[in-house]
Structure 1
Amino acid sequence: MIDNCVNIETDLTVEVNAGSEHCFFQSIKKSTSIEIEYQVIDGGDLDINFYVHSPNHVVLAADSRKTENVVKVEANMIGDYKFCLDNRFSRFSKKLVFFELTTTSGDDDDDDDDDDWEPNKDELVELVDMKIEDFKNIIASVKVNLEKSVQLQNLVKMFEARDRNIQENNFERVNLWSCVFLVVMMLVGLTQVIMIRHLFANKASQSVQTMKVRT
């Protein structure tokens, strides 16, 4: 279970073993919009299956062997929603996946708190030329922009982690095959030296035998 609230923002990085799946449950108490973003940052071909189940076990969204995606669903039913990262198609490679879940609804607890805050508007208008609603809109806009900035920073971090893992894997492969080719070249060179020495040895023995026959 991730959380029990209506409006949440959570992100985590999970490891899904080969031949298994990792599922999360989110309890929804009233209608809301759910946005899920996932990205495979390490393991195998950087792909995974993903699906979302409603409380009545209906598949709301499903992805097959994708590296990353943003999935949006409308949660109109109250209950526990199921989100699964499925790596059962992979027999050997475990996957490292970044997972972010966000829920939003029209009714926000923060807005309720703002409604409870009722200063003396007449005195405030005398001090500034703005209304209290303008301040609320500005604060709400700043909050949304900050949340987007945090999400973008998390995405950039995940892109960097994925690229770094790809580079490290390529580096290991290059080193491995370089060693293999080096060993093969040394074996080929050694084989050639042995064959050449063997040919010269045969010619020398034949020359000695010919000289003995003549004498």
Structure 2
Amino acid sequence: MMSASAHLCLLACFTLAGGLTLDMGPNQNMEFTFLLSAGTTECFHQTTARNDSMEVEYQVIAGSGLDVGFTLISPSGQRLVSDFRRSDGSHMVDPTEDGDYHLCFDNSFSKLSEKMVFFEVVINSRSSAGRDEWGDVATAEIMVEYKLEDIRARMDSVYLRLEKSRQIQTVLRAFEARARYLLEDNLWRVSFWSCINLFVMLIVAVTQIYTLQRLFDDTKRVCT
């Protein structure tokens, strides 16, 4: 039978999306699935810029109890969020400060079971970096019916909608992986206890047959 560690590794491969590196630059989104060993705490770091907003969402996909502790610490050392033994959570920091935010997941209360955790960090930048090159385009002669700002606003709206759709799809994949783990775990339990019940029924049936045979044998001996 496949071990629990191998099973969790397969689930991690199933749910692992793009952007697996943790050396992320500022104002970049990050999504990651990892195995949190029993009795340990693991921290990740996300660099942010001042006045941006940061959204952190996590959920435990597999592991006994489906719960972990979560702590979000600001670059100045202030503890912003502290969750204890929860299966999922979503937190918003607005606005942020310059520096590295620390995202720590705690499984120290579980001495035997490792957990598979999925988390996503979304940075909503308020600056127009990356798209300011539009301002260098000569619009007076080219754009007749539309202004450049109108086009930029429309493109930003489409971009945000696409990003939101991608985030929802990633979260749904994580939910699907957790549901699959629960179904397979429940199937194993049902099969195990069904075998135990069948074994007990067979023992009871054999015992009853043997008792009846002994009873008839004793009756024949008395009659003779």
Length-normalised TM-score, structure 2: 0.83
Question: Given the alignment of the two structures, is residue 32 of structure 1 paired with residue 60 of structure 2, yes or no?
Answer: no
State the distance in 2 between where 1:77 and 1:132 align. 31
AA aligned to 2:143 is V
Count of residues paired in the alignment:
204
Q: Which one of the candidate residues 71, 83, 88 is aligned to 1:63?
A: 83
Q: Give 1:144 deviation, angstroms.
A: 0.6
Q: Which one of the candidate residues 137, 140, 150 is aligned to 2:156?
A: 140
AA aligned to 2:81 is A
Aligned sequence identity (%)? 36
Q: State the SS of the aligned residue for 1:14.
A: strand
State the distance in 1 between where 2:39 and 2:216 align. 59
Q: Give 1:76 deviation, angstroms.
A: 4.2
After superposition, residues 1-215 of structure 1 pair within 5 angstroms as 2-74=22-94, 76-115=96-135, 117-119=136-138, 121-126=139-144, 129-208=145-224
CA contact (8 A) 1:7 1:108 kept: no
Q: Give 1:92 deviation, angstroms.
A: 2.2
RMSD of equivalent CA atoms: 1.9
Q: Give 1:29 deviation, angstroms.
A: 4.7
Larger Rg: 1
Gaps of 5+ in 1: 209-215
The structure that is helix-richer by fraction is 1
Length-normalised TM-score, structure 1: 0.86
Q: Which moved more, 1:4-13 or 1:74-83?
A: 74-83
Gaps of 5+ in 2: 1-20
Q: State the SS of the aligned residue for 2:118.
A: strand
Partner of 1:213: none
